[in-house]
């Protein structure tokens, strides 16, 4: 005849604090990040709100960044957003340089 299975009480469940320790996730310390406010690129002739959004999608949100961007990259940013090229596009970096100095 087989002996009945004897169950023993779970000691860890019966004793407070005897359970395995909880893992605590390490939380990284906050890092100060310089937040650059976007410039109003619509101050440049040929850049309207939609064009400014297209430039922002390409990471161009400041006069300084626009001034440092070459014309082929600007064309690529505008066409990638599905907009038509503005006739004044080649003048944007120079105008942005003037506005960045203010």
Taking only the tens of pLDDT, the chain with its 102 residues reads 566 555 555 555 555 555 566 666 677 777 766 677 899 999 999 999 999 999 999 999 999 999 999 999 999 999 999 999 999 999 999 999 999 986
pLDDT of residue 18: 56
pLDDT of residue 40: 96
User: CATH number for the domain including 48?
Assistant: 1.10.150
Residue 16 lies inside a defined structural domain of this protein: no
**Under 8 Å between Cβ of 70 and 44:** no
Number of domains in the chain: 1
60-73 per-residue burial string, b: 16 or more CB within 10 A, e: under 16: bbbbbbbbebeeee
């Amino acid at each position: 005849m087989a002996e009945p299975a004897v169950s023993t009480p779970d000691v860890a469940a019966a004793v407070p604090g005897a359970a395995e320790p909880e893992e605590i996730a390490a939380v990284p310390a906050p890092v100060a990040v310089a937040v650059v406010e976007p410039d109003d690129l619509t101050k440049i002739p040929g850049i309207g709100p939609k064009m400014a959004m297209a430039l922002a999608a390409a990471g161009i949100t400041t006069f300084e960044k626009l001034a440092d961007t070459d014309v082929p990259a600007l064309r690529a940013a505008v066409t990638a957003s599905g907009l038509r090229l503005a006739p004044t596009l080649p003048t944007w970096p120079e105008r942005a340089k003037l506005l960045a100095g203010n």
